[in-house]
Structure 1
Amino acid sequence: MTVFPLALAQFVASYAATTMTVAVSAIAADLGTTVLGVQTAITLFTLTMASLMVPGSKLTDVLGRKRCFAIGLVVYGAGALLASAAPGPGLLIFGYSLLEGIGSALLIPPIYILVTVTSPDTGTRARRFGVVSGAGALGAAAGPLIGGLITTWAGWRASFLLQVLLVAVILVATPRITEPAGERERKPFDVAGALLSAAGLFFVVSGILRAGSGGWVLIVAGAGVLVAFFKHVRARERAGREPLVPSALFRDRVTNLGLLTQHVQWLVLQGAFFVIAVYLQQVRGYDAIETGLMLTPATAGILGASAAAGRLARRHSPRRLIRGGFALTIAGLALLLLLVRADSGVASAVPGLFLLGAGVGIMLTASVNLVQSRSPDSAQGDVSGVSRSVSNLGSSVGTALAGAVLAGATFALALTTLAGAAAAGLIAALLLPRQERPR
């Protein structure tokens, strides 16, 4: 099976989440909105992905993984095309936040399912996950630089047109993807469960986004809806009906801790990119291309770590890699806090950004491989949807949390908050039991 179209699709989805950060000021000025308004569009994009990732993953059992992947690409491409022509924030949100988010929720789960079920052994699986996760990390890390170059030379709309072009390339390569033969089970889709899970996640992240202005009401409401969702899952299981997600998935300690580390990784990465980009543009007056160039050390760190993912997986257990990754990430954030000042030189941010990128890059493949390998092939639809939902929820919460802190505080406090989140991720990694190789 060729991994190229799957890796490129993950690159595009990750790129879309971070490339907007360097164009925030340009988009806000062009569409007559505010930085907060553009931040809301970014958060809604990742939130839509997170909310619909589990239902999207479940649809792969009905439509087939390859077909679901292709449908997601078409929806995503249509959204990018609409966003490129947006005359105001409304169409931008519809095309970028909603359609691209829905498309991502349909196309991303099949990527990880196909890699898992078509890999003959754990070594091959680790290498393929290294390619896919590396592509995702590259999209997230290079998004600011590529977006900065495109925004400066051709305008922010051209960035969406680039996504349309890449989607067309992936669609052409999609027939090369092989899907294991087998009968798909025609099971009823849990519509109520899908609505409850999506609504709960939406309210929780919306509440974080509106922290300080009654957001706690939304957070409490979202938590209540999620409790209702888990009760709904148990009720369907007792009645002998298949729920959206089986409750047994959340009874495995390694899976739960692995999912938590995935959530924190993307929260820290997306949150740090947003905080640094806004700081550079609002405090130092950098334009889009200068902001992207400033984030290049983080890109280099992620790329270097992702390129070594296969070798690292053969020599070290996922638990050790995740722990080491969080330690490097915290060290990088600490260096940024110690060295970066309003009047400091460009070089002051390089060590911290590089360690931040390297730390996240080391963890990405290890966490995905750990979680996906805990379940048999028959349960890959469930675990892949939850895994991708948790990761994208981390991206959404990272942007929302960082924006909320920035709105009422300082760059230093925002980075300190992210360092605290990384410390929580390290604690989760320390609780992972000894398991030298995922089964």
Structure 2
Amino acid sequence: MTTTAAHSAAAGRRVLVPLALAQFICSFAGSSMNVMINDISADLDTSVQGVQVAITVFLLVMAALMIPGGKLTDRWGRKRCLMLGLAVYGVGALLSAAAPGLGVLILGNSVLEGVGTALLIPPVYILTTLLFTGTAARARAFGAIMALGGIGAAAGPLIGGLLTTAIDWRANFGFQAVVVAVILLLTRTLEDPLPADPERSFDTVGAVLSAAGLVLLVTGILAADNNTWLMIALLAAGAAVLVGFFAWIRRLERAGREPLLATSLFHNRTSNLGLVTQNAQWLVLMGVSFTVGAYLQVVRGYSAIATGGVFTAATLGLLTSSLAAERLAKRRAQRTLIVTGFATTIAGVVVLLLLVRSFGGAWPFTPGLLLIGLGLGLMLTPSVNVVQSAFPDSRQGEISGLSRSISNLGSSLGTAVAGTILVAELSRNGYAAALTALAALGLVGLGAALLLPHDRPPAAPGADAGARR
């Protein structure tokens, strides 16, 4: 490697490390609480459903605010949004660590960490798209970010279990605050390749309508085990608000004004299918994480560290396929990787269901979780690349916000759907019913992947493998 190439590669790594760590800690936060259900419930005098609400609200706040967060990057600048989001997230983590009750935990973890994530994640993907040029370099960058994101989600239960058992459940939030502080230090020298545009308009009405619609939909799912009529009313209200949102943005477009989300983003068939696969991937990952975590602790009485240890198989599987992602991307088309990933993940859910119902102990969880990890590691990166690469640099703010919103909506739906089924029938057939529902939803993602256009594997990288400085 020449001196210039080595310097360019080193510069690329310096840029990529804080961006990948940011995705890691946000994904970690979404799954690590799944092994603290009993500890938090006992310490804060709440229930399994109370912890489920805290987890789901965190994921929902991210999903609801991700599109506005992506849009604000144009107005405030990508680096400023990234650092502001990290600061808000860090305050939320510290508040959660000191929470005296469920309400403060929801404020710190669910609200502040959720808002911080919605501000910091869109810049991660926009900066990656802008700073890394060429198919090969961009694929490697997204591969590193998605790998750490997936590992954060898969390893969250393991790391969370270790910290909870060795210290206390509050140490998990202290760990998050420390990682955020490190990321802030690493991002000080990061340069924003595009100037901020303070005069850029912001669609406040659209932001409120989109957030309200998503909140109502997920809240409706959470209400399913308590009140059927309330569930129907909330789902209907959410659908009506989202219809109103799309009517509003069309009205702005006809008037020549800039909406929160341009309807033209949905005119790209490949991108639309990619978004469906992203939603389904995170829905299955977070749904399985909550289902297995709650089942092990509440039904089988496992400790936090024992529960986290069971998830080691998923972490190893995801790490293995993620490390092979770059090599696979050179040899296989993105569609092939996504389809194979879904087939492997669904097979893992089925194995998880069959073995655990037939045998006792911890080992029956291993084969299924390993397959789920392998499958998700195969498809997380190509799904993001399919969507991000469908639009030019000038539209990365919009599509990044939409892409992350769809993914986080999948996370919140996975926890809400699986959690609602599980909590309603925890001592009977809730485990089987939740996994069956997740497998069926995984089939929706597989169907979307099969409809993706056939593409050729990328050629061996050449001069485009560098990163802009």
Alignment TM-score > 0.5, same fold: yes
Deviations 1:229-286 (A, max 9, x none): 0000100000000000100001111111100000000000000010001111112110
Q: Do residues 178 (structure 1) and 178 (structure 2) align?
A: no
C-alpha contact (below 8 Å) 1:373/1:438 kept by paired residues: no
Q: Which residue of 1 aligns with 2:16?
A: 3
SS in structure 2 at match of 1:3: helix
Structure 2, unaligned runs of 5 or more:
1-11, 460-469
Q: Which residue of 2 aligns with 1:435?
A: 455
Q: Do residues 302 (structure 1) and 315 (structure 2) align?
A: no
C-alpha contact (below 8 Å) 1:78/1:95 kept by paired residues: yes
SS in structure 1 at match of 2:259: coil
C-alpha contact (below 8 Å) 2:74/2:196 kept by paired residues: no
Q: Do residues 384 (structure 1) and 400 (structure 2) align?
A: yes
Deviations 1:138-179 (A, max 9, x none): 110110000000001111111101111111111110023232
Q: Do residues 334 (structure 1) and 350 (structure 2) align?
A: yes
| Number of residues of Structure 1 aligned to a counterpart in Structure 2 | 439
Q: Do residues 350 (structure 1) and 350 (structure 2) align?
A: no
Q: Which residue of 1 aligns with 2:462?
A: none
C-alpha contact (below 8 Å) 2:77/2:195 kept by paired residues: no
Q: Which residue of 1 aligns with 2:173?
A: 160
Q: Which residue of 2 aligns with 1:140?
A: 153
C-alpha contact (below 8 Å) 1:84/1:158 kept by paired residues: yes
Counterpart selection for 1:25 from 33, 38, 57: 38
Q: Return the letter of the residue paired with 1:434.
A: H
Q: Which residue of 2 aligns with 1:169?
A: 182
CA distance in 2, matches of 1:408, 1:163: 31
Counterpart selection for 2:142 from 114, 125, 129: 129
Quote the sequence identity (%): 56
SS in structure 1 at match of 2:36: helix
Mapping of residues 33-52 of structure 1, within 5 Å: 33-52=46-65
| TM-superposed deviation, 1:305 | 1.1
C-alpha contact (below 8 Å) 2:329/2:458 kept by paired residues: no
Structure 1, unaligned runs of 5 or more:
none
CA distance in 2, matches of 1:349, 1:40: 25
CA distance in 2, matches of 1:224, 1:419: 28
Counterpart selection for 1:115 from 101, 116, 128: 128
| TM-superposed deviation, 1:437 | 5.9
Counterpart selection for 1:69 from 82, 85, 100: 82
SS in structure 1 at match of 2:144: helix
CA distance in 1, matches of 2:182, 2:196: 29
| TM-superposed deviation, 1:416 | 0.6
| TM-superposed deviation, 1:180 | 1.1
Q: Do residues 249 (structure 1) and 262 (structure 2) align?
A: no
CA distance in 1, matches of 2:204, 2:23: 27
C-alpha contact (below 8 Å) 1:84/1:157 kept by paired residues: yes
CA distance in 1, matches of 2:416, 2:31: 13
Q: CA RMSD in A?
A: 1.3
Q: Return the letter of the residue paired with 1:330.
A: I
CA distance in 2, matches of 1:104, 1:379: 20
C-alpha contact (below 8 Å) 1:54/1:389 kept by paired residues: yes
Q: Which residue of 2 aligns with 1:150?
A: 163
C-alpha contact (below 8 Å) 1:284/1:342 kept by paired residues: no
SS in structure 1 at match of 2:46: coil
CA distance in 2, matches of 1:139, 1:342: 30
Counterpart selection for 2:117 from 97, 104, 108: 104
CA distance in 2, matches of 1:268, 1:365: 16
TM-score by length of 1: 0.98
SS in structure 2 at match of 1:210: helix
CA distance in 2, matches of 1:179, 1:84: 33
C-alpha contact (below 8 Å) 2:216/2:234 kept by paired residues: yes
Q: Which residue of 2 aligns with 1:216?
A: 232
Q: Which residue of 1 aligns with 2:446?
A: 426
Q: Return the letter of the residue paired with 2:166.
A: W
CA distance in 1, matches of 2:345, 2:191: 37
Q: Which residue of 1 aligns with 2:467?
A: none
| TM-superposed deviation, 1:100 | 0.3
Q: Which residue of 2 aligns with 1:269?
A: 285
Deviations 1:32-62 (A, max 9, x none): 1111001100000000000000000100001
Q: Return the letter of the residue paired with 1:421.
A: L
SS in structure 1 at match of 2:252: helix
Range with bigger deviation, 277-286 or 334-343:
334-343
CA distance in 2, matches of 1:345, 1:41: 29
SS in structure 2 at match of 1:176: coil
| TM-superposed deviation, 1:307 | 1.1
Deviations 1:295-338 (A, max 9, x none): 11001111111111111111111111110000000110111122
C-alpha contact (below 8 Å) 2:330/2:457 kept by paired residues: no
CA distance in 2, matches of 1:98, 1:128: 29
| TM-superposed deviation, 1:346 | 2.2
C-alpha contact (below 8 Å) 1:266/1:394 kept by paired residues: yes
C-alpha contact (below 8 Å) 2:26/2:117 kept by paired residues: yes
Q: Which residue of 2 aligns with 1:235?
A: 251
CA distance in 2, matches of 1:299, 1:215: 35
Q: Which residue of 1 aligns with 2:415?
A: 399
CA distance in 1, matches of 2:328, 2:187: 30
CA distance in 1, matches of 2:40, 2:358: 25
C-alpha contact (below 8 Å) 1:309/1:362 kept by paired residues: yes
CA distance in 1, matches of 2:156, 2:423: 24
Q: Which residue of 1 aligns with 2:105?
A: 92
Q: Which residue of 1 aligns with 2:220?
A: 207
C-alpha contact (below 8 Å) 2:163/2:169 kept by paired residues: yes
Deviations 1:117-157 (A, max 9, x none): 11120100000001100110111011000000000111111
| TM-superposed deviation, 1:413 | 1.1
C-alpha contact (below 8 Å) 1:374/1:438 kept by paired residues: no
C-alpha contact (below 8 Å) 2:330/2:458 kept by paired residues: no
CA distance in 2, matches of 1:282, 1:181: 50
Q: Return the letter of the residue paired with 1:130.
A: G
Q: Which residue of 1 aligns with 2:72?
A: 59
CA distance in 2, matches of 1:234, 1:23: 44
